[in-house]
A = this chain, B = another copy of it.
Amino acid sequence: MYRTHTCGELRLANAGQSVTLSGWVQRTRKMGGMTFIDIRDRYGITQLVFNNEINETLCDSANKLGREFVIQVTGQVAERSNKNNNIPTGEIEILAESLNILNEAKTPPFTIEDNTDGGDDIRMKYRYLDLRRNVVRSNLILRHQMAFETRRYLDQMGFLEVETPILIGSTPEGARDFVVPSRMNPGEFYALPQSPQTLKQLLMVSGFDRYFQIAKCFRDEDLRADRQPEFTQIDCEMSFVEQEDVLQLFEGMVKHLFKYVKNIDFSDTFPRMTWHDAMKYYGSDKPDIRFEMKFVELKEAVSGHDFVVFDSAAYVGGICASGCADYTRKQLDQLTDFVKKPQIGAKGLVYIKYESDGNLKSSVDKFYNSDDLKAIAALFNAQPGDLILILAGDKTKTQKALCELRLEMGNRLGLRDKNVYTPLWVIDFPLFEWDDEAQRFFAMHHPFTSPKPEDIQHLDSDPGRVRANAYDMVVNGIELGGGSIRIHDSKLQNKMFELLGFTPEKAQAQFGFLMNAFQYGAPPHGGLAFGLDRFVSLFAGLDSIRDCIAFPKNNAGRDVMLDAPSTIDQSQLDELNLVIDIKE
């Protein structure tokens, strides 16, 4: 037996017991004739003591141990004279009686500490050492807990977890598929699923009633900081439900996770906001409502004052930052620089200071007198001491820029505390999204999303105003998941394909199996999917999903630890009937 206890387990009550521990050498300290070694495992750290006067040979061996050596020690638990209140085992130490080196270790290329000296690249190359660090491993432990609690809740609610295949067919619509050449079917390819969307709808046709799966999904996209080629979804679908049923059930799931993983109780119903209001008041379909600072539309109020920037703009809007009227020239310049950054894209920033003495000053005093400014300030319910920030231009771009400015002000004012969680349902998404480049409508969610029954009448005449029974779960400005009620009527589905520019043949080729299935009695159904990686990141307070994934890939889609992808043998290519032909 390698151990009687873990390194996080012993307490004062164990004093006097003879124990055996196994683990890694975290730290060695020599003090006089004593050698102190911290031994570490997943569960904690325990202090070992080797006394030169009692056993010189043993102490010598201990002195030769290097960092990260794997050792086994037997000894007696004793009360520490110099207690360490920072760790749970800090009241005791082990008076070592024997030492067994289970494995030696080369010195790691970075320190195994919460604040390591290792950069990103080296940590990824030696990910197995990086994962020894508590701060990294604790994210994976959190992930385990969240997945487990998700399953516990959904099982209680009668959901069945069904594994859908990873080797499926390619559907060129949407993002790029990863494909897998088939040796047994020469010239043909499987595709890895971008999501189990169509398969879960088939399970509804099969009468599974309540399905879920914590499912690996794959997208061959050019990667951004917060994207991975493989990612994990909590994928769910229910039959005989309306939107309200889905929202209530999954609000329950989110509350369950907050309660059992974060020990946070949400007794109230989550607020809901229409997509239209989210765009109008926050310039985003995933507003961070930890703080107010809503947009105020000013076009009408500011027009007709010969200020050509405002007069020529399709949209003028602003926010009111409480207590910021004393912002210096420098601070205001910083904000101007911020909004002018290419990724924000505003042309400039107009401010109005509602000073604490009641006076109003602005960067556009030439065009607006004190009363004008007062009238504008009134639209914000601004108080003395507040700062109003205004952007103008194209509507969509300006709202987006104003959204970024709002979040920046939220950061500056400390209104975005990572330990405060503010969930929100965003509902009533538009069914279609107009694409200027392609000059046609695309499905905002996917082509199976059901329009709201009362809006079906506008499908032909005004597709842009048709709202969908679609919804997103947003927490702190992060979209955790989303879904919709699906179309279960094949006539309406055909209509949708038509509006989306599918010929009947193309629709049949791509979604034939689903459309055929629907002819055999599809129940009304709907569902949603949560991004598990983002959900864990949110709970862990991480900025990137990468640190809640055991073995993530870098921005080039490479696993630098495994050195994958890599070339394969010619014989493998031959068997797959493939030739590589790299164009320059």
Contacts and interface: CB of A to CB of B under 8 A. Distances in A.
Q: By DSSP majority rule, is chain A's interface helix, strand, loop, or mixed?
A: loop
- Number of chain copies forming the complex: 2
Given A70-B522, A167-B230, A131 B207 contact: yes
Interface in A545-584: 549-551, 553, 556-559, 561-569, 572, 574-583
A279 interface: no
A161 B179 contact: no
Interface in A296-322: none
A183 B172 contact: no
A69 B488 CA distance: 13
A182 B218 CA distance: 12
A53 B351 CA distance: 78
A103 interface: yes
A222 interface: yes
Given A41-B209, A517-B128, A216 B562 contact: no
A3 interface: yes
A271 interface: no
A97 interface: no
24 contacts: A2-B241, A22-B240, A42-B209, A42-B210, A70-B524, A103-B518, A105-B521, A132-B206, A140-B208, A141-B160, A144-B162, A165-B559, A166-B216, A166-B230, A169-B566, A179-B568, A180-B180, A184-B556, A187-B580, A513-B561, A574-B583, A577-B580, A578-B579, A578-B580
Interface in A36-51: 40-43
A222 B41 CA distance: 43
A182 to B, nearest CB: 4
Nearest to A182: B565
B187 A523 contact: no
Contacts of A102: 488, 523-524
Given A68-B521, A582-B577, A164 B566 contact: no
B564 A190 contact: yes
Contacts of A270: none
A121 interface: no
Given A577-B582, A578-B580, 20 more contacts: A3-B240, A22-B240, A23-B207, A42-B208, A70-B522, A70-B524, A102-B524, A132-B207, A163-B216, A168-B562, A172-B569, A176-B572, A179-B180, A179-B576, A180-B192, A185-B556, A185-B557, A199-B551, A216-B216, A513-B562
A443 interface: no
Q: Which of A23, A167, A223 has the most B CB atoms < 10 Å from its CB?
A: A167
A238 B239 CA distance: 41
Contact of A222 (B129, B137, B184, B557): B184
Chain A: interface size category: 35 or more
B163 A207 contact: no
B167 A520 contact: no
Contacts of A255: none
A223 B191 CA distance: 20
A189 interface: yes
Interface stretch (A147-155, A384-392, A431-439, A472-480): A147-155
A521 B104 contact: yes
A188 interface: yes
The CB with the most chain B CB atoms within 10 A, among A128, A549, A561, A575, is that of A128
Contact of A103 (B23, B179, B191, B488): B488
A519 B232 CA distance: 32
